[in-house]
Amino acid sequence: MKSLKKYDVFLKKIEITGFFGQGNFVWLLDPDVNILGGKNGSGKTTIFRICYDLLSGNLLDDRLLRCMKKVKLTFNNDWTLVFEKDDKKNGGMMSYYVIFQRLPPPNTSLLVFDKNGKKRTLKDIQKKVHVFFFNSFEQRLSQVNQYSKLPSTESMNDPILLDLMIKDQIDLRNKDFSSKMENFVDFSIEDSDAHSKFVKSYKKIYESLGHFLQGYDEPFKSTFDFTKDGKTVGIDGLSTGEKQILLLLLMVSNTNQQPCIFFMDEPDLSMHIDWKEILISELHELNPNMQIILSTHAPSVITGWQDRVKEVEQLVSK
């Protein structure tokens, strides 16, 4: 296990009371890699979506609300986020609480307390916890609306949503690179170490891509167009599995090795078994400070990480 000093704030425990009406779900987490297994329909996606939506400040939809009575997320700094259904309040409206060791006063729906008992806000938690979500098969209407607003790309021939999501990550990467390099134009000797670390981190994705997309030459830096047999291959010309791994690597790379929590719901779908075996290690190399919370059905994905695997059935008590 990595030293906890490397991490900012990460999840220490996930508790869901009344999980699908079957009992209580309790999962103690490691700061780096956590893998959740279980049968289809066991609730892996539901768990990830509930945690991500609460940490992101999103409202839980009816489907998620039907699967639980109460959620408690505990962090390594002993802050606690609690979401509790209150069907009697506000004509059946649901309320949620972010608390530290005590319940909020009556008729109050949102409170945050730090370890000293001082009142905070949900934004205070979000400043400490950077959270991301990757789902390889779920294409929500909100995503379609979001990415349909991106400028059209002439090099793409009738792009699909996955193409647009990749393009969005490439644009984010390019903007971030330009911004940081501007700061290094007149860097001093004291800044040289920071500059070196940034460049090394920035280049890491090309090494990772070489481990997955071995049939291609290194992509163009700003567009991620590849070449193969002397011909240029745009991102829309990649296979679904290739696009999927490119998107995931870009998303992780764009965390810039900053401490964060990254939920990954079956990220290995459409991937060859050789890719599955190196997936977690490659992602961990891209950002060693990232807490990975991942679900999978594939035994090959957990190669080398068997001690981090928990089954949903193991974590639910009647």
The pLDDT of residue 108: 32
Contact 86, 94 (CB under 8 A): yes
Residue 302 to residue 310: CA distance in whole angstroms: 11
Contact 112, 98 (CB under 8 A): yes
pLDDT tens, 212-248? 999 899 899 899 999 998 899 999 899 988 999 999 9
Torsion sign over Cα 173, 1, 80, 61: positive
Does the 1-130+304-318 domain belong in CATH 3.40.50?
yes
Instruction: Enter the pTM of the model.
Output: 0.85
The closest of 317, 304, 294 to 37, measured between CA atoms, is 294
3-state secondary structure labels for all residues of 231-296:
EEECHHHCCHHHHHHHHHHHHHHCCCCCCEEEEEECCCCCCCHHHHHHHHHHHHHHCCCEEEEEEC
The pLDDT of residue 94: 43
Contact 215, 228 (CB under 8 A): yes
> Six-digit token pair at 85?
């259904």
pLDDT tens, 51-65? 998 898 887 888 888
Contact 245, 271 (CB under 8 A): yes
Which 3 state secondary structure label does DSSP give 131? strand
Residue 203 to residue 205: CA distance in whole angstroms: 6
Contact 65, 144 (CB under 8 A): no
Q: What is the CA radius of gyration of the chain?
A: 21
> Six-digit token pair at 107?
């008729």
List where CATH 3.40.50 sits in the chain.
Answer: 1-130+304-318
Residues of the chain with pLDDT under 70: 1-7, 86-114, 136-158, 186-191
Amino acid type, 261: I
> Six-digit token pair at 42?
């066991």
Place of tokens 């992101």: 56
Please, what's the b/e burial string for 93-120 (b: 16 or more CB within 10 A of its CB; e: otherwise)?
ebebbbbbeeebeeeeeebbbeeeeeeb
